[in-house]
A and B are shown apart, each in its own frame.
Chain A
């Protein structure tokens, strides 16, 4: 090595000096080229990172404020003069269960018909005594679903009659907009959503601390709502997505792993397996919207599965996830050293024993990662769901995968289209943050499991 450098630095004078001079002359431009290439690389990386940073900054800047929303602490008096209902029926002796249920239902109906808005109005007025404002305007400050919240409280505990209890209520979406300044506060009355009096009341209550920006738990525990936008939440969509994930995992993992094992370990290599392999790869490349069209035609029109149900969404997404799992499982099976198989077979194991006792356990990390990444991909998929009716407005949490439901990405799409832009722009970004957090934690789980399982092997 040292000789070599010496030869380069002190060239022998046998005519190669000229060649060396030429190399030296070219050296500068070669270094420049190298430097340029690195600069391009750094620029490309920087651009990619910049895009990610801008995306996240925009979503977080818009979405984070939505996690704190205007709520008001009121002392609600269940005024017997307004809440005029019979005591809750108790089951009499000899009364059949059906009769009793009917009596309770009638009673609940009567409770629903109580003018709860008057109870709310009285509670708001008590917080701002002497404030000149008419009834209609008072009610625009409180979200419209609160009357049902009071009703449910009362149905749950009829003993509240005549008592005063502190209740934290949601302020209406328009109050939230006004206090956050989402609608320009300097705009004239005609361009504001709240009337003059209501804006004044909101400001006064905000100043004395009755209304405060508090953490919006309702985003996580409430279902979607249109009549009460401030109460709209992701619970229904979350459970819908969860059911779809379950269906995807239950169907695509066994089918995908079985197919991969058969193709890799048992099937004789030939034209047919090649053909199958090509088609599985093709399936992985099919755009997701095509699966949606297929799902609508087959699962809904032919199998008569219900519209807007997570079961159908799960089946469609299974089709999408299957190729990912088959391909990844085959890759990890191929990566198992042949010596393992030879050893097992040599010791007298059958092929099935060889696969299930020795080869498959080694591939667990690979299959696990493929599954989680496939599911994470599927959970963010929107296009096929639009075609199977999952873009419907559903105001309940699905009890089974056969009930109508929304899904997280579709909920983002629906909120993006909501006509109350001022309020839902932020809430849409908040939903995106929730979905991103879910995806990132799924991916983190995949990495963690892979590390852990690989170490154990």
Chain B
């Protein structure tokens, strides 16, 4: 009987405690799985370098998922920072504003390359965007007419490509990577593919409709894409450059438009499929959750995001120093993003 009373008392304490959980002293981050490894490394180093702050907590969920959480509102049970592998969309800014998140501060942290890679044991690929478009689109142009995609092997698209069945693993739409892939590879490829004249809507449909039989959309992390490649060695997967770099014993990277992706070619702007990486800070939480300003400053410091910094070792392509200085200056000025600033 006594034990039961004790347990009930403990229960009461647990619930009473929940009332105190209103404030929070740990920075909470979520979002892009491309940015996740970088943000986690910075979070750890931040915790080590600033003994007065707790180590920030970094969650994933993809760019879309992270921004959705970010825009849920202001308060201790919403996240402070959203990682993104693309810029925030107009609709997302509007959703934020509707829920009372009005001070969205954008921080660009560097660049990332998107690479096509196949199993290390397979032949080399020298891809052009148009090859990928022809492999992936549900409808392609043959003799000036739209027909259902007839290609089965890569060498049917271009004799220079390997004689290997077409199979692609691409990021699903919850990933920011998908957007860049769509824009830089598929849209560019469609332009080069010589499609017949058609209205804008029809064009949009051709560019966004993929063959379901050879394309797998991966909603999880790159490890899932890698697992696909290991179960079907013919698959060509879409990865972040840093992921490829850590697994190059199993993967072979394809050139795009003749350029091999690497830290150098992406930084120089030669490799065509690259994109800036961001995180978004909830201005309302600055000063409420301790350490946000310090985290941003630490992230952008030379030793972390700069040339030869910790993140470069981990695979992030550093932005030029002047660009980073501008980003930091804008952040410090507290320039909030509005729906008019973005697409």
Interface residues of A (CB under 8 A from B): 105, 108-109, 112, 144-145, 148, 183-184, 187, 190-193, 225-228, 247, 250-251, 253-254, 257, 300-301, 303-309, 311, 356, 389, 391-396, 400-404, 416-422
Asked if A191 and B59 sit within 8 Å, CB to CB, the answer is no
CB pairs A–B below 8 angstroms (5 shown) = A191-B248, A227-B44, A303-B18, A393-B59, A395-B43
Q: Does B7 have its Cβ within 8 Å of any Cβ on chain A?
A: yes
Q: Does B14 have its Cβ within 8 Å of any Cβ on chain A?
A: yes
| The 4 residue pairs across chains A and B that have the minimum distance between CB atoms | A392-B59, A226-B40, A227-B41, A393-B58
CA distance A117 to B224 in the complex (A): 35
Q: Is the contact region of chain B dominated by helix, strand, or loop, or is it mixed?
A: mixed
Q: Does B143 have its Cβ within 8 Å of any Cβ on chain A?
A: no
- A250's partner among B14, B40, B59, B249 (CB-CB below 8 A) is B14
- A184's partner among B49, B60, B77, B249 (CB-CB below 8 A) is B249
Residues facing A in B97-133 (CB within 8 A) are 120
Query: Which chain A residues lie closer than 8 Å to B224 at the CB level?
Result: 417
- Excluding A311-B14, A402-B18, 17 further A-B contacts by CB distance (< 8 Å) are A144-B310, A148-B48, A250-B11, A251-B11, A301-B77, A304-B76, A304-B77, A305-B21, A307-B79, A389-B30, A392-B57, A393-B59, A394-B55, A395-B44, A396-B54, A418-B223, A419-B222
Asked if A227 and B11 sit within 8 Å, CB to CB, the answer is no
Asked if B4 and A226 sit within 8 Å, CB to CB, the answer is no
Query: Which chain B residues lie closer than 8 Å to A389 at the CB level?
Result: 30, 59
Among B86-94, B199-207, B239-247, B273-281, the one that faces the other chain is B239-247
- A422's partner among B45, B50, B51, B247 (CB-CB below 8 A) is B247
- A105's partner among B8, B17, B52, B248 (CB-CB below 8 A) is B52
Q: Does B26 have its Cβ within 8 Å of any Cβ on chain A?
A: yes
Query: Which chain A residues lie closer than 8 Å to B314 at the CB level?
Result: 227
Count B interface residues, CB 8 Å: 57
Asked if B246 and A226 sit within 8 Å, CB to CB, the answer is no
Closest to B240 in A: A419
Asked if B249 and A308 sit within 8 Å, CB to CB, the answer is no
Query: Which chain B residues lie closer than 8 Å to A192 at the CB level?
Result: 249
Residues facing A in B1-31 (CB within 8 A) are 1, 4, 7-8, 10-11, 14, 17-18, 20-22, 24, 26, 28-30
With A356-B1, A392-B30, A395-B43 known as contacts, the answer to whether A421 contacts B18 (CB < 8 A) is: no
Asked if A307 and B51 sit within 8 Å, CB to CB, the answer is no
- Measured between C-beta atoms, what is the minimum distance from B152 to chain A in Å? 30
Asked if A227 and B45 sit within 8 Å, CB to CB, the answer is yes
- A417's partner among B18, B223, B242 (CB-CB below 8 A) is B223
CA distance A403 to B57 in the complex (A): 10
Query: Which chain A residues lie closer than 8 Å to B22 at the CB level?
Result: 304
CA distance A254 to B1 in the complex (A): 11
CA distance A253 to B41 in the complex (A): 41
Q: Does B250 have its Cβ within 8 Å of any Cβ on chain A?
A: yes
Asked if A419 and B77 sit within 8 Å, CB to CB, the answer is no
Closest to B25 in A: A403
Asked if A419 and B30 sit within 8 Å, CB to CB, the answer is no
Q: Does B284 have its Cβ within 8 Å of any Cβ on chain A?
A: no
Asked if A404 and B18 sit within 8 Å, CB to CB, the answer is no
Closest to A405 in B: B57
With A226-B44, A227-B41 known as contacts, the answer to whether A308 contacts B57 (CB < 8 A) is: yes
- Measured between C-beta atoms, what is the minimum distance from A89 to chain B in Å? 15
Asked if B44 and A306 sit within 8 Å, CB to CB, the answer is no
Residues facing A in B147-184 (CB within 8 A) are none
With A227-B41, A404-B26 known as contacts, the answer to whether A306 contacts B120 (CB < 8 A) is: no
Closest to A390 in B: B59
CA distance A382 to B134 in the complex (A): 40
With A307-B79, A392-B58 known as contacts, the answer to whether A227 contacts B310 (CB < 8 A) is: yes
Closest to B243 in A: A419
Query: Which chain B residues lie closer than 8 Å to A227 at the CB level?
Result: 40-41, 44-45, 310, 314
Q: Does B302 have its Cβ within 8 Å of any Cβ on chain A?
A: no
